[in-house]
Structure 1
């Protein structure tokens, strides 16, 4: 039996707890139980739940108190909390949603709807946890300050996808009146209208009794452009089976019993706040990954990137049967520049030199700073003649224009030495990348020994 997640059930009535445990355990979830807010802190520390199902009213508090309790703990703030109401009290449901509850289930509910809601929320939480584990690696600098799950609503692009133009226009007008979102309306048969413009942040979808609306949900969730778009399904009736199917097809939330602008508005507010947080975490991750490849001083790629890029160039060269070049470049007499003008002046020279070389290479290859004043240049699909020509242009771009430094009236002349090797790999004979780099380094040493400010070529052993 596989345990797919830990669910905490809070209810002052033992029979309610037992019924939920039976339903959830049968679906292979690990269930822990509690009666009230008292002792909740210790229970949470011991169990670390992935989801909380709580009665709307507890002996010593409410579902909202539970949500606030979890929100105060950074490690549990993203745990979904679902309130279970004793009766179909629409006002109480809307109030719970407005106070940050992730959803509200009303007795009596079908097992299928309960489990679909659990699956939907656990999927969302698992994605958030994956991002959180990655972005909270402090040494890499990926972490962002904690943000509230339920933030003030910001204007978003919201599309209404209704079965008729008339109902779509009516829903759009109601939402536009009660929100600050930019709302557009489309018919279900015109999905292209939604996909052809800017990707909506949220789509409100009218799901009828046929498979068409459910198929639209699955379609939108499977597309790269809209898989992270918030999907709110609106059902004409209180159809638990259809609601469960909608959640399993990709809906983030379901509104049953027809379009209720207050409920749709509140669900949009809650889900868009979560989407904003997730987008921030992804942006932080992408930014951290990008920064891990960048030299912070010059803005060039770093050694880590250079080695990975050269490996890719070598692999592609082997596949295509084309040659490539590896160059190592070193600014001449750089220590004397640091000694005379200080490290600040040396940093300016390094940064400007990197900019000039990157401009000279353009899109033909890459330039990376791999050490103090040392650079690596990778040139794919290059012959020796072309590589030598590029290397000489790199020498020229450094030598021909002296470097201007603050508080220094005379520009500083700088030169660079370059060692290079080219290779033409074949399916039966290739030279290891490390050996090529060593050969380029030997050529660089020869250029230095010969008087600097020049290019030297090392012949490939292959």
Structure 2
């Protein structure tokens, strides 16, 4: 799908010229003639990238950019400031406002199209993460977009790939005031270090002796462990063709020598912020996925996951004619624990109980909290005798060591009752096994608790 580009300029002739150029390259073009109009369009989520003029009445482009980047719902939209201002301080002001790039009029069409394509690809990569991460709010997680938008881009870990010692020292000195910077003169070792170390950004010189900086860029963008790292290229003005090629390969930004210190700091900070923005959304997505299948108190799987997974395990067991056993465990007199020691103590007991059950099971076993103090363990490829032995091992582990409460300041005795059942040829579904195990648990409770009863022993 073609990227949607919003052009913001108060001069109609400029709007029409840019619109014609971008439309000819098959971009969908939106236009706005003022800052407030641009903000409204972005808040509706219409553009994939914004080309923003600086000199506008009322609200200039720097302020528009600053507002876009500080608002969670628009912070992810790439912004390119397009202006006749060409001094380093002007670029710095735009980058400090959060701009992803700064292009000077008159525009070079090839550079413009390369930048728009590069940034629109970057946005499309984060859109799905944003959509999924936004669902975290419904699961009780703090809004991930707010946290991501608050990222400062400081204290990043930067790998500088430069084989000229004096140049590397100058760049490292400039960046070290705000980031942890390490220098690697060898491109192959740089690829390995980027994959093995927690790197936020890699600065690659295009002037490496006997080495190809673009090949390193390609490697970083193609490997799973490095494709999310921000990549910035550094080259001479005559390297323009290679730099544009680097943007096509997947580099996020570039710097032209001689490199202005303030521009270096601003561009690196922007790319560190971009990388961490994506990381926060990805972490939020992982958290929301875990919340969908895990019980938040104990870390065990929840009932929803267990019902689905147990059904699949039962079908596989029946298809392959392999054993399958289920244990239903219930902490004895748990209500007394809550009533006597408080619900916080009860939570401590449940957490420790879950840990002890996990310690007695295998990685292939399914351990889930059914609710309250009841836990279900599903044991694939395990027959009645082996399942009974596991249950007895859990019972002993619970009984033999008191449970710490009140942050380890007190200890109380805890026991557990367990019912065990295994799949039979006539079972129609996993519910049949669980029902027999639950009945066995009831008999264990009725017989005095702190014991294991197998369904086939009735």
Counterparts of 1:134 and 1:182, CA distance in 2: 33
TM-score by length of 1: 0.82
- RMSD of aligned residue pairs (Cα, Å): 3.7
Partner SS state of residue 265, structure 1: helix
Q: Which residue of 1 aligns with 2:246?
A: 246
User: Is 1:454 aligned to residue 451 of structure 2?
Assistant: yes
* Structure 1 segments unaligned to the other structure (5+ residues): none
Greater shift, 177-186 or 11-20, is seen at: 177-186
Counterparts of 1:49 and 1:154, CA distance in 2: 28
Q: Which residue of 2 aligns with 1:266?
A: 266
Counterparts of 1:338 and 1:354, CA distance in 2: 17
Counterparts of 1:342 and 1:399, CA distance in 2: 21
Distance change in 2, residues 1:353/1:104 (3 Å): closer
Counterparts of 1:297 and 1:46, CA distance in 2: 38
Distance change in 2, residues 1:91/1:395 (3 Å): closer
Q: Which residue of 2 aligns with 1:237?
A: 237
- Residue pair 1:113, 1:241 contacting (<8 A) in 2 also: no
- Residue pair 1:231, 1:253 contacting (<8 A) in 2 also: yes
Structure 1 segment 45-444 matched on structure 2, within 5 A: 48-71=46-69, 73-86=71-84, 88-137=86-135, 138-144=137-143, 146-147=146-147, 149=149, 152-162=152-162, 164-166=163-165, 169-170=168-169, 172-176=171-175, 179-188=178-187, 190-192=189-191, 194-195=193-194, 197-207=196-206, 212-237=212-237, 240-257=240-257, 259-310=259-310, 323-335=323-335, 346-347=346-347, 349-361=349-361, 363=363, 365-400=365-400, 414-423=414-423, 432-444=429-441
Partner SS state of residue 382, structure 2: coil
- Residue pair 1:204, 1:233 contacting (<8 A) in 2 also: yes
Instruction: Report the Cα offset of residue 205 of structure 1.
Output: 0.9
TM-score by length of 2: 0.83
* Structure 2 segments unaligned to the other structure (5+ residues): none
Counterparts of 1:281 and 1:190, CA distance in 2: 30
Counterparts of 1:99 and 1:395, CA distance in 2: 61
Counterparts of 1:349 and 1:194, CA distance in 2: 44
**Paired residues, number:** 450
- Residue pair 1:202, 1:268 contacting (<8 A) in 2 also: yes
Distance change in 2, residues 1:112/1:404 (3 Å): closer
Counterparts of 1:111 and 1:190, CA distance in 2: 36
Distance change in 2, residues 1:64/1:304 (3 Å): same
Partner SS state of residue 58, structure 1: coil
